[in-house]
Structure formats: structure tokens, C-alpha cells
Structure 1
């Protein structure tokens, strides 16, 4: 799943954290494992902390830790915490005075909003723990 790299990074990281919920992971370790920059990790995981999914501790023994049990964190929680949309939704300004184009834009926006709602509902049906339990987890 590389369509949205922030979502992919967040889910990948939480999936590994679910294997050791009490464990603490540093941004540097997560970044090395994910093949990205620690600053990117801190930005993404900071959003998860703001949403109450992670906690962070500074200092020598600090790092990131799950704030809730893996079975209490849904994929929708992660998706919504990142405050992004995989589906373009919302009203878009139409530069045209054409009534047909305006009607089409509103109709398409309505359909896309329904798709987004359905996506969130389906993501809410799966927890990080369930993803972990689906099969053997390969590191990498």
C-alpha cells in the first residue's frame, strides 16, 4: 500500500508496535526500518499522538509507544488522525457559468463524499490487532 505514504508509514509502524504494545521505539529506528527520514516519522507519528493513539517520551530512554491496546485502534482511527482523504471530496469551485457543469460537479462531489464515508466505515471494521493476527508478519 504505497498510494498514501503517510498512511502506509503509520499503519506499518502501528502494525509492528502491536506485536509488542508496551515497547518503545525511537523515530530513528522506525525511520531506518521504513526507509525514510526521522523527521517524516515524527510528523506522521505526531498526528497519531494528537489523536490519542500514541504517546511519546523524550530523553535517553524515550520514544513512541501505543497509547491504547492494539484491539482498540481501528484502521479508521489512523486514517482520520492523519486528516487526509484518499478520495477528493468537498465542493470544488467551478470557473464556468455553465449550469450543466455546475450540476455535474455537485453530483460527483456527492458521490465522492459517499465513497469517503464508506471507506471510513470499512476501515473502522478492522483493528491493528486483527491485521497482526491475519498471518505471519514479515519484518521489512
Structure 2
């Protein structure tokens, strides 16, 4: 199963954008991330909807950071990207009437929910400025 790397990739780009004097074009960001500019525009659009970035059209246009890194947490960006599950572990659904599968799914779901809550709380404690501190000294 493919992992969702949007959070990591957007954190990476937002920190780069904080160091850029000019707007970052979708083409430039796509080159950094080794992806397609359409993917960049779609993903950055999620961040624009939450006012973390602004898009400028025309000559000299591109993406600009709208919020200071100190004011953005990992949780903010995770939520802006659509709150996808942080885990790829799934529950079985082949034997829906099996009491064993039901018990296994109940315990796995409980453990995954507790782990995800702990991870998301930690995401809320980490600002992008904290991630960037090694690059700003």
C-alpha cells in the first residue's frame, strides 16, 4: 500500500518558501518534489483554503507563505490536507459475522485510535519554526 507523503512534502516546501524572496511557482515546487505541477497546485490549493499560502497569478506569480512558521503546526497542515489517517493498518472485513474478527477489529480500532490521538496531539505541539530552527541559525 502506498504511503501518503503529502504532509512531509508540504512541510518541506513551506520551510523552503519561508527562505524564498520571490513567489515559488508550481513548476519550481514540482522540481523540488520530483512531481507534476498539477499535483502541486492541487495540494497547495488545500493550504490556500486554510490561508496558509497565497497564490499570485501572472508574471512573478506563484505561491507565497501567508503565515509565520511559528504560527503553523504539523497538525494545522495535516488538517488542511484533509485529515487522512496517519496509519495504513486496516481492519478485516471478510468475515463480518465472525466473533473472532469482531474482537480483533474492536481491539485494533481502539489501539489505533489511541495511538492516532497521541500522535495528533504531538503534531499540535510542533511548529514549523521548530522544524526549521536548524536552518535558521
Q: Same fold (TM over 0.5)?
A: yes
Tell me: CA distance 1:88–1:109, structure 2 relative to 1, closer, same or farther (3 Å).
farther
Does structure 1 residue 105 correspond to structure 2 residue 105? Answer: yes
TM-score (ref. length: structure 1): 0.82
Please say if residues 91 and 108 of structure 2, whose CA atoms lie closer than 8 Å, have aligned partners that are also in contact: no
Structure 2: segments with no counterpart, 5+ residues:
none
Describe the superposition over 1:37-95 as per-residue Cα deviations: whole angstroms up to 9, x where unpaired: 11111111111112221111222222111121110000111112112122148987563
Aligned length: 134
Please say if residues 89 and 113 of structure 1, whose CA atoms lie closer than 8 Å, have aligned partners that are also in contact: no
Per residue, is there more helix in 1 or in 2? 2
Structure 1: segments with no counterpart, 5+ residues:
none
Root-mean-square deviation (Å): 2.4
Partner of 2:5: 5
Q: Which portions of structure 1, spanning 4 or more consecutive aligned residues, are displaced by more than 3 angstroms?
A: 88-95
SS of the residue 1:30 aligns to: helix
Please say if residues 24 and 64 of structure 1, whose CA atoms lie closer than 8 Å, have aligned partners that are also in contact: yes
SS of the residue 1:64 aligns to: strand
Please say if residues 77 and 124 of structure 1, whose CA atoms lie closer than 8 Å, have aligned partners that are also in contact: yes
Hey, what's the Cα distance between the residues in 2 that align with 1:58 and 1:92? 47
Tell me: CA distance 1:94–1:114, structure 2 relative to 1, closer, same or farther (3 Å).
farther
Partner of 1:114: 114
